[in-house]
Structure 1
Amino acid sequence: MFIKPFVALALVLVALSGAAQAQLSDTEQKIVAAVQQRSPAALVLLEKAVRINSGTLNPEGVRAVGDLFRAELDALGFQTRWIDMPPAMKRAGHLVATHDGGQGQRLLLLGHLDTVFEKSSAVPLWERHGDWVRGQGVNDMKGGDVILLEALRALQAVGALAPARIDVMLTGDEERTGRPLTVARADLVALAKKADYALSFESSHRHQGTDSVSIARRAAGGWVLRVKGKPGHSMGVFSSASGHGAVYEAARILNAFREQVVEPHLTFNPGLVYGGTEVRYAEDSATATVLGKSNVIARDAEVRGDLRYLSPEQGERARQKMQSIVTTGNLPGTSATIRFTETYPPMPPTEAGQQLAARYSQASQDAGLGRIELLDPGWRGAGDVQFVAPYTVGIDGLGAQGRGAHTDDEALEIASIERGAIRAALLIYRLTRPAP
C-alpha cells in the first residue's frame, strides 16, 4: 500500500529536478562564495562543538553546546532564548532563536544539541583523518547544526537575511526525549504551527552515489507483551493440567507477528525477551532480572519491542492485528496482554513535501552539486521533524554526510559541510524572498 505512492513521488521528483537548470543569480553566486570563504572557519566551529560532550543525560554539556551556538545566532541578529524543562524531566532544555524581517514565507530550521555519547563514552571527542573527522556526534548532528549556522551566515553576508522570517530550534533531548512528550515538544509544535516550511538538518544520506533527502519518516513507538502461564514441574508441560507455560506462548505470539503483521515500511522488533518463574524489569537501566529453573514451567514471560510505521492508518492496522494475535488462540493454560506506546508520530509522504524536495534538488543542481533523490523512509530512524509534520511542510536530511552514526566509528566527510551549507542557503534564500 505504501510502496507505490512513495515510488510515484520519487519519479515526479526526478522529473522536476531534471528540468532545465536556471542560472544562479548574482546574489546567489555571492551566497555560494560566502559559504566557500567560511569553510575553514566552519570546521573550527564544528570542532569546538564536538569537543564538548553533550550526551542527552549530560545537561551541563548540552547547555554548553547551546551557549556556543547561541552566541553565533546572536551575532547574526537573532533574538535567542533558552527554554528550561521541568527538573523532574532531567533534560537540559532547548535553544530557540527568532529572526523576523517581516517579509516572505516563515521557515522553521531544526537541529539538536545532544548526542548518544554520554560522559562515560570511550569514543574520542575529535579525531581528524585526512578528509574525514571521527568524533562524538560529529555526524549526528553537530555537523548539521554547523551547516544550518553557515547557511544563515552566508545569507547575512550578502544582505539576504535581513528581510527573512526564520525560527531556529535546537532541541536538547532528541536522542532520548524527555517525558511527558506534551511538555518536551510543546514549544516545537507551537513554532511549527506558525511556519510555512520546516527544514531539518539531520545527517544526509548518499545512495548509489546520489545525495538524498527525506520527506517521510516512520513513527517510533513500542510495545510490551506480558504472558502468564501455570508454574509447575516440567514433567507436566503440554498436559491439560499444566498447560504449555508462558515462554511457549510468547514464542507463539512472536512467530504469529512475523507471519501475519508484515507490510511494506512496517517493522516490529522484539528487542528484549525474558521469561521464567519470576521476572522484573528496570526502566532506568533497561535491564531484566529473571528467576527460573529448567525443570520448572515458566509462569511469566515478557517481550519489549519497537514498532515503526509510515502512517497513522498503518500503525492502527498493526496494533489491531497484534492485539488480536495476543488474545486469540492462546496455548492451553496461558493468557497474554499487550500495551502500545508512541514516541515519535509518523511523517507520511505528501505532494507538498515532494515539491519542497524538488526545490531543494533544483538549488543543488543550479549550484553544480547534482540532483537530490528521495530517501526510502526505511533507511532513516525517527526525528524531531515528525512532531512538526502535522502542522507544516517539512523535509529532513539537509545535514552533513558521514558514516557510523550512533557507533564508536561515527565520522563526517569534511567537504559535506560546504556542500550542505550551499544547498541550504540557496533554498532558504529562494523560500524567503518576498513574492514579486
Structure 2
Amino acid sequence: MQRSGGILLLAMAASLNAAAAPLTATEQRIVAEVKAQSAGALALLETSVNINSGTMNSAGVRDVGVLYRKEFDQLGFTTRWIDMPPAMQRAGHLLATREGKQGKRLLLLGHLDTVFEADSPVQKWVRDGDRVRGQGVSDMKGGNMVIVQALRALQRAGVLDNTNITVLFTGDEENAGDPKSVSRGDMVDLAKRSDAVLSFEAQILAADGRATGTVGRRASSSFELDIKGKQGHSSGIFSQGSGYGAVYEAARVLDGFRQQVIEPGLTFNPGVILGGTDVNYDSTLSRGNAFGKTNVIANTVTIKGDLRYLDYPQRDRAHARMREIAAASLAGTSATVSFGESYPPMAVTPGNMKLLALYSQASDDAGLGKVDAVPAEARGAGDIQFAAPFVDSLDGLGVSGNGAHSPSEDLEVATLERAAIRAALMLYRMTR
C-alpha cells in the first residue's frame, strides 16, 4: 500500500490543483447559513463536551447520543439507537437516515465516546481566546458538530430534501467492543449500500497551515508478551541454575524489537508492563497489579502493546521477526509473543483520491484554500477503516486542534466554521 499510495498521491496532484470556481447562488447561501449558526454550533459543542462520555461510561455515551438525536430529528432524519449485547459492555450507536433518490448515497461517520472516562481529572469546557480545551473537544465531538452544522445549512438553504444521507455515530470508537463483527456489523452493512463514506475525525493541518484530508490509515492491532523465568533468591541471578529471570528477558525482547523490527510506517508500543512473582491484568478495564520482592527473582512479566502497520505484507514481516526475537531466550527464561487484530488498514485508492479532489475543490471555491493528502502513517486508527474496504472513503473532515487524548486536548474555534463550510459544499455537490 505504501508504494501504490505514493504513486496515487503524485498522480492525483494535478486534479487537486484545479482552479477555484465561483460559488453558485445556492452555494453562497449555504455558506451564509453555516456562518449564521456558528455561535449556536459552538454552544451545542460546549454542551456535548461537558457530558462525560468515556467509552466505558455507557450512560454518558447515551446522553450525548440523546443530544445529537434531537438535532437529527429536527433535520427530518429517521433516528434510532442501536443497542449492543450486554456482554459487550458498550453503549451502542446512534443511527440517523434520510431516504431520497437524488445524488450519491452518503454515509457520514462520527463517534460519541472519548478516551476520558468518568473518573478522569481532565477539565471539561475551558475557553481561552480562540481555543477551547475539553474532553473530546476535537476527537471527536467537534467533528460531530461539523456534521450537524453542515446538514443544518443544507436544510436552511432548502437543499436537504430528497437526499440519501445516513449518519452513524458509534459509541465505542476509542475502544471498539468485541467481537468487531457485532460492534461494526451495522457500519459494514451501511457501507456496502453507500456510494461514499465521509468521516469527520479531527483534521491535521499541514506545516503551512493548510487543511489536509485522510485517504489512508494504518491498521490498529496488538501484541502481547508472556515472559517466564525461574523464581529464586536474588543472589542467584545470572547463575546457571537460576538464569536471568523474567524481567531481564522482557528487557531483551523489547530492545530487540526496538532495534530490529524497523520499517517506514511500522510502529509498536509496549503500553503496559507488569512483572514480579504474581501478576494480574484486566483487559476490559486496562488495569493490573503485580507483586514482587527485591530479593526474589521475578518469574513472570506480562506486556501489552499496540502494533500499527500500513498493509498486510508489512504486518506479516513484523510478526515473523518479532517471533524470532522472542524465541531466542536468555538462560532460564522463555518468551511467547501473540498478536490480535482490531482495525484493518485503509488503503489509498483512486476512489479515495477522487473524493479528496472534490473536497479540495469545494474548499478552494469557498476561498479556504486547497486540501492535500496526509500520509497514512501520520494518522491513528479510525472507524472508517471498517467501511473503506467496500466503498470510496475520506476521513479527517473535522475540526483542528492539538493534544488529542491528552489533558491538553483542544480545538481551534475558527476551524469549526471552516470545516462545516467545506463539508456542506461537498455534501451539496455530491447530492445533486
Q: If the length of structure 1 is used for normalisation, what is the TM-score?
A: 0.93
Q: Are the aligned partners of 2:230 and 2:297 in contact in 1 as well (CA < 8 Å)?
A: yes
| Greater mean alpha carbon deviation, residues 291-300 or residues 107-116 | 291-300
Alignment correspondent of 2:294:
294
Q: Distance in 2 between matches of 1:297 and 1:134?
A: 46
Matched ranges for 1:247-266 at <5 A: 247-266=247-266
Tell me if 1:309 matches 2:309. yes
Note the C-alpha offset of 1:172. Answer: 1.1
> Once the two structures are superposed, what CA deviation does each residue of 1:62-111 show, in whole Å capped at 9, x if it has no partner?
21221121111112111111111122222221110111111222110000
SS of structure 2 residue aligned to 1:428 = helix
Q: For residue 95 of structure 1, what is the aligned residue in structure 2?
A: 94
Structure-2 separation of matches of 1:392 and 1:67: 29
The CA distance in 2 between the partners of 1:330 and 1:50, in whole Å, is 48
Higher mean C-alpha displacement, 61-70 vs 197-206: 61-70
Aligned length: 431
CA contact (8 A) 1:232 1:297 kept: yes
Residue in 2 aligned with 1:331?
330
The unaligned stretches of length 5 or more in structure 1 are: none
Rounded Cα–Cα distance in structure 1 between residues aligned with 2:304 and 2:103: 47
Q: Are the aligned partners of 1:13 and 1:373 in contact in 2 as well (CA < 8 Å)? A: no
Are positions 1:168 and 2:172 aligned together?
Answer: no
Q: Deviations over 1:178-228 (max 9, x none)?
A: 222221111111111111110001111112111111111111121111122
Give the distance between the partners of 1:280 and 1:59, measured in 2 at CA: 25
Q: 1:67 to 1:234 in 2, by over 3 A?
A: closer
Q: Deviations over 1:134-178 (max 9, x none)?
A: 222221111111110111122222232213211110111112222
Matches within 5 A, 1:40-119: 40-119=39-118
Partner of 1:280: 280
CA positional deviation for 1:285: 4.1
Aligned equivalent of 2:127: 128
| 134 and 229 in structure 1: CA distance in 2 versus 1, 3 angstrom threshold | closer
Structure 1 residue 239 displacement after superposition: 3.5
Residue 145 of structure 1 pairs with residue 144 of structure 2:
yes
The percentage of counterpart residues that share the same residue type is 55
Question: 1:221-245: per-residue Cα shift (whole Å, max 9, x none)?
Answer: 2111112222233444333333322
Give CA-to-partner distance per residue, 1:224-272, whole Å, 9 cap, x none. 1112222233444333333322222222221221222111111011122
- Contact 1:144-1:202 within 8 A present in 2 as well: yes
Residue 389 of structure 1 is matched in structure 2 by 388
Write the letter of the residue equivalent to 1:142.
K
Any idea what SS the aligned residue of 1:175 has?
A: helix
CA distance in 2, matches of 1:42, 1:356: 26
* Range that drifts further, 236-245 or 364-373: 236-245
Q: Which amino acid is the alignment partner of residue 109 of structure 1? A: L
2:9 pairs with 1:10:
yes
Q: 1:259 to 1:72 in 2, by over 3 A?
A: same
| Separation in 1, partners of 2:319, 2:82 | 35
The letter of the residue matching 1:110 is: L
Gapped runs of 5+ residues in structure 2? Answer: none
User: Aligned partners of 1:405 and 1:196: how far apart in 2?
Assistant: 30
Is contact 1:10–1:373 with CA below 8 Å preserved after alignment? no
Report the TM-score when normalising by structure 2: 0.94
Spell out, residue by residue over 1:268-302, the C-alpha distance to the aligned partner (whole angstroms, 9 max, x if none): 11122232333222334433333333343332222
Matches within 5 A, 1:365-380: 365-380=364-379
1:424, distance to aligned residue in structure 2 (A)? 0.5
Secondary structure, counterpart of 1:340 in structure 2: strand
